Amino acid sequence: MELTTVWFVLIAVLWAGYFLLEGFDFGVGMLLPVLGRGERERRLLINTIGPVWDGNEVWLLVAGGATFAAFPEWYATLFSGFYLPLLIILVALIVRGLAFEYRGKVDSPQWRRRWDLAIIVGSYVPALLWGVAFGNIVRGVPINADHEYVGGFFNLLNPYALLGGLTTLSLFLLHGAVFLALKTDGDVRVRAGRLAYRLGFPAVALAGGFLLWTQLTHDDAWGWALSGAAALALVAGVVAARARREGWAFLAAGATLVIAVAALFVTLFPDVMPTTLAGGDSLTVTNAASTPYTLKVMTGVAVCFTPIVLLYQSWTYWVFRKRLRVEHIPVPHP
C-alpha cells in the first residue's frame, strides 16, 4: 500500500475517532436543557464529560495537523473554501470550552445560565456544521484547474449537505443520550434511556436517507456494504436502548458513527475533494499529497507516538468509568 493511501486511511481513522468520542460530548451539551431539570442535574450532566471532553478534541487537532502535513493541497483548498463555516465551528468550540471552565467560577444562577447557553449553542453548531462540511466534501464543490475553490458560502448550503448536517446532529444527540444512560444512575439514567429510544427514530430516518442518497449518487460496492452495516448498527442501538442495555446501545451508536465515516471515506477514495466544475481538477490522494520523504517521516512519528496517546486516553476513561448520581453533587447555596 502506498503511503498516500496509508495516510488517507489514517485521516479517516482520526475523523472516525473524533466523531465517536466528541459525538457524545456534543450530545450531552445539546441535551443539557432537556435532561438537566435543576442545577444539580445540570452539573451531573457536565461532570459525566468533564474529565474527557478536552482530550476528545485532540482527535480533531491531530486530524487537522495530519491533513496539513500529508495533503497540503487538500488542507489549503478545504480551509480557504470552507473558511466561514470552519471559523464558526472554531468559535463555537472555543466558547464551549470556556463555558466548561468558567461556569462554576461565580456562585450566581444568572452566571451559570449564561454559560449553560454557551455550552448548548457551542454543541449544536459543530454538530450541525461538521455534517454539512463532510456532505460537501463527498458531494464535491466547484474547484478550478488550479485547485482553488471558486464557489461561495451558499454553494455549501445545498440539500445534500444540509441533510448531512441534520444526520450528524441527530446521531450525536442519540449518542449523547445513550452515553448519559450509561454514565449516570437514578432518575437521570431512566429519562436518558427513554429519550435515547425516542431519538433513535429520527436518527434512523435521517442517517438512512443520507447514506442511501450517497450511495445512489456514487454507487460504490464497498460504500453500499459499509452503509448497510452502519444502518444495522444504528437499528441495533435503538433496540438496545429500548431494552435498557446501555452498554450495548452505546457500542452500537459508536459503531454507527465509525462505520458511517468509513463509508464516506471509502466512497470518496481516491479523491479527497472532487470538483463539480466543468474543466476543474479534483483533488486526489496523488495530486494533493506531500513528498514521499515527508510521508515517510510522518509515518515513523505516528508509529512511535500514537500508541502512547491511545494508552493515555484509554487509561483516562478507565479511571472515570463509574456511574454518577445526583447525590454525588453538592447542594448549591440558596
Q: Which amino acid is present at 43?
A: R
- Give the residue carrying C-alpha cell 447557553: 117
Please state, in angstroms and rounded to a whole number, the distance separating the CA atoms of residues 138 and 267: 8
Q: Give which of 246, 93, 79, 271 is closest to 176, Cα–Cα.
A: 246
Helix axes 3-30, 159-183, angle to 10 degrees: 70
Q: Which residues contact 87 (CB under 8 A, 6 or more apart)?
A: none
CB-CB contact of 19 with 261 (8 Å): yes
pLDDT of residue 333: 62
pLDDT of residue 334: 55
pLDDT of residue 153: 85
Q: Give which of 144, 147, 137 is closest to 278, Cα–Cα.
A: 144
Please state, in angstroms and rounded to a whole number, the distance separating the CA atoms of residues 119 and 95: 8
Q: Give which of 176, 177, 173, 180 is closest to 202, Cα–Cα.
A: 173
The full DSSP string for 105-162 is: SS--HHHHHHHHHHHHHHHHHHHHHHHHHHHHHHH-B-B-TTS-B---GGGG--HHHH
Please state, in angstroms and rounded to a whole number, the distance separating the CA atoms of residues 199 and 193: 10
Please state, in angstroms and rounded to a whole number, the distance separating the CA atoms of residues 37 and 39: 7
pLDDT of residue 114: 94
Distance, first Cα to last Cα, the chain? 64
Please state, in angstroms and rounded to a whole number, the distance separating the CA atoms of residues 281 and 148: 9
DSSP 3-state assignment of 270?
coil
Please state, in angstroms and rounded to a whole number, the distance separating the CA atoms of residues 252 and 310: 21
Give me the residues paired with residue 149 across strands: 143
Q: Which residues contact 319 (CB under 8 A, 6 or more apart)?
A: 51
pLDDT averages per 10-residue partition of the chain, 334 residues: 91 95 94 91 92 90 92 92 93 95 88 94 96 94 90 89 96 96 93 95 95 92 94 96 94 96 94 89 92 92 88 90 84 64
Please state, in angstroms and rounded to a whole number, the distance separating the CA atoms of residues 278 and 292: 31
CB-CB contact of 123 with 66 (8 Å): no
The full DSSP string for 288-334 is: T---HHHHHHHHHHHHHHHHHHHHHHHHHHHHT-S-B-GGGSPPPP-
Q: What are phi and psi of 184, to 5 degrees?
A: -115, 175
